[in-house]
Structure formats: structure tokens, C-alpha cells
Chains A and B, each alone.
Chain A
Amino acid sequence: MNCNHDHDNSDYSRRDFLTKTTLGLGGLSLASMLNSENVFASNKLSNSNSLDLRLPHFVPKVKRVIYLFQSGAPSQLDLFDYKPTLNKMQGQELPASVFGEQRLTGMTAGQNSFPLAGSLFNFNQHGNSGAWVSDLMPNVSKISDELCFIKSMHTDAINHDPAVSLLQTGSQLPGRPSIGSWLSYGLGTDNKNLPGFVVLITKDKYGQPLYSRSWGNGFLPSQHQGVQFRSGKNPVLYLDNPPGVTKQLREEQLDYLSKMQQDKHGDIGDPEILSRISQYEMAFRMQTSVPDVMDLSKEPDSIFEMYGEDSRKPGTFAANCLLARRLIEKDVKFVQLYHQGWDHHGDLPKNIKTQCKETDQPTAALIKDLKQRGLLEDTLVIWGGEFGRTNYSQGQLTETNYARDHHPACFTIFMAGAGIKKGITYGQTDEFGYNIIENPVHVHDFQATLMHLMGIDHEKFTFKFQGRRFRLTDVHGKVVKDILA
């Protein structure tokens, strides 16, 4: 849906005509003077959009991204942000001076007491970098020298959906384009047979719901929305031909449909029709490219062992990690995995173990696999949730059990790969793991940094919609230069 182009029966509205003739035609004639060979040739090129936008702004460090999104918000205090003070003060009240004016959710706002809950899990320093990782992540801890931990992430939202929206689209309110869509729109796709933005979701996980608008295109042309690849017979729904329809028949049908759509576009000039045509064409090409990329039968056993036994079961996080690597090898620009089930309002020690068992080994294996194939030279892997969890227990604190509520004031993510420093920990929280005391990184700063790594100045990359130029980072965001390699 693109409201800038509400036209009737002509390619150009009055407004378009005036804009184009005052500046547009002048620019056009300038272009023809500078490059007399072919001014309009860019329309034929696959990268035409990024050429028109003059992107990337500078030489990118990162060409592709895998974002392992841990939906529900994993507890940083039980995984990476080691706070022995909490164990020492186990059961004592969270001091008011630390609590400050932090907003609470409805789930704990009514609690009479906020007993500090130390982690039940052992922490150790790992690798040359001495990064703290708990025993819950034995495989990730082994590759900690490849990782860049940011312990000072913070967000504005206190509930899941606004927080996920903020992280994925730069706004708590639904409707803005997601990071992957911005990148697909701005940089185009390097493999014309696959979409530039693919989403993989772990099967049969529950918890906080995921909405497809988290990978939606918002107001950007719709071919830039994330395409969800599912496990099972039909990875992309409705992609296969129905029984009895041959490839040739489908091709003829699409050719004719394309002609009709071109005619319609000639009538009303809605650019969304062009998006639709390109999507049909992409879908047709995907009929061969998707089965090829989803076919794991040629992967050797050693690879399955590396990612864990789960990786043989389609739809698991492990299998999706393996798929992510295959998509990256094929130059898909942005692969986003979603793994639900981190929202531990009850029985945290038990539940977090299951979550870690499902994700620890595949995450580490993915990073190692990318590294040995040389893909980590221009790929960035991001692991993280939408916010953190509280240092006090939600509900009753016992010796063997506790739970943690939402905590937007600090959380930990880690990254690995191109353009960022390896084996560092950036930012610091106080000894209670409640407030940030050093180098805070807001969600918008993280997004600005991600764009920077892709060669984009986040302040210059805009899209005009409803009379306003929009950015992923809205009017915020500062590139975190300290972590850049």
C-alpha cells in the first residue's frame, strides 16, 4: 500500500507532473549529459533500486546478517551478566536507591516484596577475552573469543509486542518496515532467485505470539517483506503448482497475467502493481531455488553432529540455523530466526535449561560453520531478545526456584562476525544487574550500528510516506563506534 501514489487514469498525477518537470526533467537532462550512453538502463538492472538510492553510502563491512531472535526475552542474569552480589544478598529486598523510578509490569507491580534472586547457575570466565558465560551455554562459552557482548542494551518498551516492534522496526507502534525490509529495499538482493529477507521460525514453540508484521514491509514496496520459510513439504506456502498444472502451463499463465498487470499499471500507475509482478516472477524462480536450498540431504553427517541431533528434525532451531547458513551461502541478505519460549515468569531454572539446550549448540555451531567457510568475513550474527529480566523474583523465591519479570533498563545481546571487535564485552551494569553504569546502548543505537556495518548512514536512508521522511531509527540512534573493528 503506497499512499503517495493515488492516481487516476494516468501515469502522472498533477503533483507528480509538477515535481518531475521542475526538478525531475532538469535532473534527467543533466543525467543524459553526464552519461549519454543510456539514462534509462538502470531500470533493467537487478540492483537498480540501490543505484537510484545511491546506496551503500560507504564500503560495507557486512554484506549479510543472521539475526537469531530469542523471543520472550532471555534472562541476562542467568546467562551472561554475572552478579555475585545477588547471590550474596539472596532474598533481601531490592534497595530503593537501585530501584529508582523504574516502571513495572502489571504482573509484579502489586508485589509487596522484591526479593533479590541470584542465579542458580555457575558462571565462569572463558577464552582469552575472559567473557563471563554461565554453564547453561557450554558451547557458546567455547567460542566466546569470537563474540562481542553488549551488556548495556536498553529499550523503551516493557511489554513483548512493543519491545519486539521497537527492535525490529524502530517504533513501538506497529506499521513501520522491519530492519530486513529496509535492507532489502535499500540494498536489493544479490541472488535474484531468492528473496532478500527470509524468516525462519522454530516449530511447535509457544509463549509470546509472533506477528508477521515483525517482518513486514510497512510502507515500503511489498516485495521487500520477509518471506517465511516453513519446515515440511511446502517451505513457502502456495509456491508449488497445484496437481495437474505443469511448469510450462504455469509459465504461460504468469506471462499472460504479467501482460494484464502491465496494462492495468498503464491505466492507473499504481507502483504496487509492479511490486506484484516482481513477486510473481520471484515466486516462479523460487519454485526451483527453494527446494534446492531447503534440501539438507547433501549435508554430511559431520555437519549434523556439529549443529546437534535436533538439526535433522525440520523446524527445530538447530535445523533453522543450518538452513540460515545455506541461505547465507546463497547470498540472502537478511535471515531472521525466531525462537520463542524465553518469557520465564515462572519456574525459570527449569525452563531456561530447556531453552538453552535447544539453542546453545546450534548457535555456536552456526558461528563456527560460518567461520570455517569464510562466511564470517562478511556476515554478522546477532543473538538477543527484546528486553532483559529483573534481578528480583517474580512470585515466591525458594532455594531452588525463582522467576523474573520484564526489565527494559538493561539486557545483554551478543554479536559475531564482520566489522565488529572480537572477544570484547561492551557496557556494564551495576552490581545488582539493574541499571546501566557504563556505555548504554539503546535499541536505536544498535540499529544505527547495524546499518553502519551494512554501509548505510542511518540518518540519510529515508523513505517518504504520507508527507514525511521516515527512517528505521526515527530521529534517534548513534553508531556505537567503540565496538567497530
Chain B
Amino acid sequence: MIGLDLTQFLGRLHPLLVHLPIGFILLALIFELKRFRGKGSNFNFLQITWFIAFLSSLFSALMGWLLAQNGHYIDTELTPHQYTGILLVLFSCVGWILRIKNIRLPSFFSQINNFIVLVLLIIVGHLGGSLTHGSDYLTKYAPDFIKLKFEKQKNYKTFEELPIDSVFVFKELVQPLLNEKCIACHNNEISRGGLNMSTVEGIQKGGKSGAAFTGQNLNKSLIFKRISYSQENEKFMPPTGVPFSFHEIQLIQWWIQEGANYTAALSEFAFTPYIKALLLKQYGLDTRAKSWVEKVKLDPLPDSVFIALENANFSWRTLSQSNPLLDVRFQGDKLPTEALSLLETYAPYITWLNLSGCEVKDSDLKVIAKLKNLTRLNLQQNPIRARDLVSLKTLTHIEILNLHSTLVNQDVFEVLKAIPSLKKVFLWNTRVSANAVLKNKAAFPQTEFISEL
């Protein structure tokens, strides 16, 4: 390793040494300006300045080449600096040649050369600076109006409207992180350490030192180990650039612990509270089981609707300040047809409806069946029979149906088979016996029937 140490020792002089050619090139360029040139007496001086500029740039380029051998730089960022650096050395050499006494070319040539050298100097210097200090070095503390122009905001993709069974954990959450941080040095062309991360197969194959990821085994997941080392550690990855953030490491750790599955959707994973919060905050992925009322998105109703509801003897309430769905109860003893048609007008908004004890009839249920977002329906204490409920099968989101103290009998089970979304049905004080409930329970694995207690 002595050889490598020596190259690294010299290589690391590169950032130090580069300031020398910068100074001399600038000095040469300044004296190239006409006003500083006398009647040729400074000619020799310019020649010497250019020569030193060329020589020092050549040396620092050599040091740079040595430094690049350590492999810690990302090729896509390194190559431009390398080539422009070499060009700069060449053109400063040209500058020197043009000022050697016995070569006399029109001043036009040297003017072009000066311009090229100046442009190259700026480009090489900036690229080198970005390599050493990071690409956001200049803009990090700049005033906002500058910063916003240059800095690209770190944006995690958001999945807000997507159901969690169509978000693929590796492809959409883990792989983008690897692409951002690792793929520059681990791809089809350059695969450092024998690791090619541009394809899933490559990642599964792993590198020379071992497997990239091993499900449920963090110790045998080299990528996880290397990205979670101390940054001082030689083996820390990525060697340059921004390291993985705490959240990103947590996400990868969770994915490994859950089995490092490359194809599974988010819905197949188990979550810790931390991961749940992380997914929600960074990706807008809500992994909490959502009820239908939280999924429906509607515009708020104007107050005139509420006034109309109150005039029709309904009490009402929006579910929350941000959820305009309605919880409605009829407050009278007898439900008039007009009142129901009012509800029909705002059908998508009605989600909890209480019509207890107000003489609801068969024909009313046909209107209720049009309230497509209904999730809770209270029909207790009404003269309703089982067969009247047939029309409710259009209610695909209904979860709670209260039928206590109605006239339903055991035919109700046959009817309710058409409404699989039901979670609870209340049958106390009806013609359905406790025995009938017991008998039919097996046919409704998702539904709980509550009768005599």
C-alpha cells in the first residue's frame, strides 16, 4: 500500500497546487492587455509568466491525475474536470509558445488563445471546486432569490392519491435512493467492487465482497453496512457527495428487515409506527387503514344547503372541518317524501343517515339506495320488512346497518348477502331469533350481527 499512499500523498497536493497556475495564468492574461504592454520591453516578462503558468498547471494536472486514482470521485463529475484541465494545460502551453521571441504570429492568434484560456480557467476551477466542496458549496448560504435558482429542491416523489397496493417498495422507494447515491460508480460501464446497481439482477448478484442485500439480515447486507458506517470510515459509502440521510437509511433498513423483497407492493409489508410516520411525511403515503369517508373527496357545500336541511327538519353535521360529508338525522315522527328528495339532491354527501322511528317505507328505501356514499344507516324502529331491503344492494360502501325494532325476519340474511361491505348489522328486537343469527353467522365472515345480548 506504500505506492498508493505516496500517490495519495502527492495527489492531495492537487487542490493546494492548483492555485499557483490560476495566479500565473491570470497574471499573464492581465499583462496581455495592451495597456500593460510597453514597446516590447515586457515581452520577455510575459514569456516567463506564461512558462511558469504552463509548468505549474502541468504539475497540478499530474497531481490531479494521481488524486483521481483513489476512485472516490464519481466519474460523471470527474471526467469534465479532467478533460478541461488537460485542455487548459495545452492552451497555456500555446500561450507560452506564442510569446517565444522568434515566433511572430498576428496578435489575433494570441487574443483568441487568451480568451480560450480565460474561459477554460473559469470552467476548470468551478468544476474542481464542486468536486472538492460539493456542488452546493457556492449557493448554500446565498440569499434565497439566488439559491432558489440554482439549488434543486430535494423532492421525494409523492404518492398521495395512490392506493398502497400499487406502490412497489423496492422499485419506487428504495431504488430511486440507490440510483441517486450509488449508480454513478456502480453501473454497466463502471462497476466498482464488481457491483452493478443499474439492474435488479445486478443488485441481487452483489459485488466482490458479498451480497448487497440479504433479507432480514442487516449484517449480511453490505450496502446497508457501508452506508451506515461512520463517515470517517474508509469503507463509508458514498465516498463523496451527500451521504444517505437518517430517514433514507431507516427506510432501507426496514425494507431489508421485512425480507428485502424486490417485487412486493407496500400493502404486503408490516409497518412500525416510525416507518408509518416516515412514509406519510416524506412520500405522502398513508398506510393507516382508511375508511370510505376519508377517501371520498368532495367540494364543501354552501350554507344554503344546511338551511334547506334544517327547514326540512333534519339535524346535520359535516364530519369535520375538512370533510364535507354529512351526518344527517331526521328529527320528526314521519318522514315526508320531499325531505327524502332533498337528500337525494345532495346524494354523494350523505354518509351517516339516521332515520330512526319516522315511518320509513319501502319506497323510501329506493331513494336511500341512491345515496352512494352512505356508510352508516340507522333504520331502527320503522315498519320495514326484510324484502324491502333488497333495494339497498346498490350501497357498496355501507358498513353499519341498524335494523333493531323493525319487522325484519330471518329472510334478512338472504337479502344482506348482496351487501358484502357490511361490518355490523343490528337485529335486536326483531323477528330474527338469536338462533337464526347463530346459524347464519358462518355465511358472513366480515359481518357481525348483534341481536339479543
Q: A54-B321, A59-B294 are in contact. Are A372 and B315 (CB under 8 A)?
A: no
> Does A206 make an interface contact (CB < 8 A)?
no
| Chain A residue contacts of B75, Cβ below 8 A | none
B453–A373 touching, CB < 8 Å: no
| Chain A residue contacts of B380, Cβ below 8 A | 373-374
Q: A46-B315, A331-B315 are in contact. Are A374 and B307 (CB under 8 A)?
A: no
B323–A59 touching, CB < 8 Å: yes
A374–B426 touching, CB < 8 Å: yes
How many A residues are at the interface, by size bracket? 20 to 34
> Does B424 make an interface contact (CB < 8 A)?
yes
Choice from A37, A191, A329, A373 contacting B315 with Cβ under 8 Å? A191
> Does B281 make an interface contact (CB < 8 A)?
no
CA distance A139 to B426 in the complex (A): 23
CA distance A38 to B321 in the complex (A): 18
| Chain B residue contacts of A50, Cβ below 8 A | 317
Choice from A41, A56, A329, A377 contacting B376 with Cβ under 8 Å? A377
Minimum CB–CB distance for A12 against chain B, Å: 24
Minimum CB–CB distance for A142 against chain B, Å: 10
B320–A455 touching, CB < 8 Å: yes
Minimum CB–CB distance for B122 against chain A, Å: 51
Choice from A41, A192, A373 contacting B426 with Cβ under 8 Å? A373
Q: A41-B304, A455-B320 are in contact. Are A192 and B400 (CB under 8 A)?
A: no
> Does A211 make an interface contact (CB < 8 A)?
no
CA distance A60 to B331 in the complex (A): 21
CA distance A192 to B331 in the complex (A): 9
Minimum CB–CB distance for A102 against chain B, Å: 34
| Chain A residue contacts of B317, Cβ below 8 A | 47, 50, 190
Minimum CB–CB distance for A282 against chain B, Å: 15
> Does B404 make an interface contact (CB < 8 A)?
yes
> Does A57 make an interface contact (CB < 8 A)?
yes
Q: A56-B321, A190-B329 are in contact. Are A372 and B450 (CB under 8 A)?
A: yes
| Chain B residue contacts of A455, Cβ below 8 A | 320
CA distance A42 to B306 in the complex (A): 9
Contact mask for chain B residues 269-312; partner A; CB cutoff 8 A; 1 contact, 0 none? 00000000000000000000001011000000011101100100
| Chain B residue contacts of A126, Cβ below 8 A | none
| Chain A residue contacts of B452, Cβ below 8 A | 372
| Chain A residue contacts of B319, Cβ below 8 A | 56, 59-60
> Does A14 make an interface contact (CB < 8 A)?
no
A55–B453 touching, CB < 8 Å: no
CA distance A59 to B400 in the complex (A): 16
Q: A59-B293, A372-B452, A374-B380 are in contact. Are A37 and B404 (CB under 8 A)?
A: no
Q: A42-B303, A45-B306, A192-B315 are in contact. Are A372 and B428 (CB under 8 A)?
A: yes
> Does B47 make an interface contact (CB < 8 A)?
no
For B352, give the chain A residue with the smallest CB separation: A378
| Chain B residue contacts of A63, Cβ below 8 A | 327
A368–B315 touching, CB < 8 Å: no
| Chain A residue contacts of B322, Cβ below 8 A | 58
> Does B402 make an interface contact (CB < 8 A)?
yes
Choice from A44, A55, A373, A374 contacting B400 with Cβ under 8 Å? A374
A373–B294 touching, CB < 8 Å: no
Q: A46-B310, A191-B331 are in contact. Are A371 and B304 (CB under 8 A)?
A: no
Q: A191-B331, A331-B315, A372-B404 are in contact. Are A37 and B304 (CB under 8 A)?
A: yes
B428–A373 touching, CB < 8 Å: yes
| Chain B residue contacts of A37, Cβ below 8 A | 302-304
> Does B378 make an interface contact (CB < 8 A)?
yes
In B305-353, which residues have CB < 8 Å from any A CB? 306-307, 310, 315-317, 319-323, 327, 329, 331
CA distance A116 to B452 in the complex (A): 44
| Chain B residue contacts of A55, Cβ below 8 A | 321
CA distance A374 to B402 in the complex (A): 6
> Does A246 make an interface contact (CB < 8 A)?
no
Minimum CB–CB distance for A126 against chain B, Å: 16
> Does A112 make an interface contact (CB < 8 A)?
no
Minimum CB–CB distance for A305 against chain B, Å: 13
B320–A56 touching, CB < 8 Å: yes
CA distance A35 to B302 in the complex (A): 8
Minimum CB–CB distance for A394 against chain B, Å: 40
A371–B453 touching, CB < 8 Å: yes
| Chain B residue contacts of A45, Cβ below 8 A | 303, 306-307, 310
> Does B396 make an interface contact (CB < 8 A)?
no
> Does B261 make an interface contact (CB < 8 A)?
no
Contact mask for chain A residues 126-157; partner B; CB cutoff 8 A; 1 contact, 0 none? 00000000000000000000000000000000
> Does B187 make an interface contact (CB < 8 A)?
no
| Chain A residue contacts of B323, Cβ below 8 A | 58-59
> Does B240 make an interface contact (CB < 8 A)?
no
> Does B447 make an interface contact (CB < 8 A)?
no
CA distance A38 to B453 in the complex (A): 50
| Chain A residue contacts of B453, Cβ below 8 A | 368, 371-372
> Does B451 make an interface contact (CB < 8 A)?
yes
Contact mask for chain B residues 136-174; partner A; CB cutoff 8 A; 1 contact, 0 none? 000000000000000000000000000000000000000
List of 8 A-B pairs having minimum Cβ-Cβ separation, nearest first: A372-B428, A41-B303, A374-B402, A374-B426, A54-B321, A59-B319, A368-B453, A37-B302
**A interface residues (Cβ-Cβ under 8 A, vs B):** 35, 37-38, 41-42, 44-47, 50, 54-60, 63, 190-192, 329, 331, 368, 371-374, 377, 455
A-B contact pairs, 11 of them (CB 8 A): A38-B302, A58-B322, A58-B323, A60-B319, A372-B404, A372-B450, A372-B451, A372-B453, A373-B428, A374-B404, A377-B400
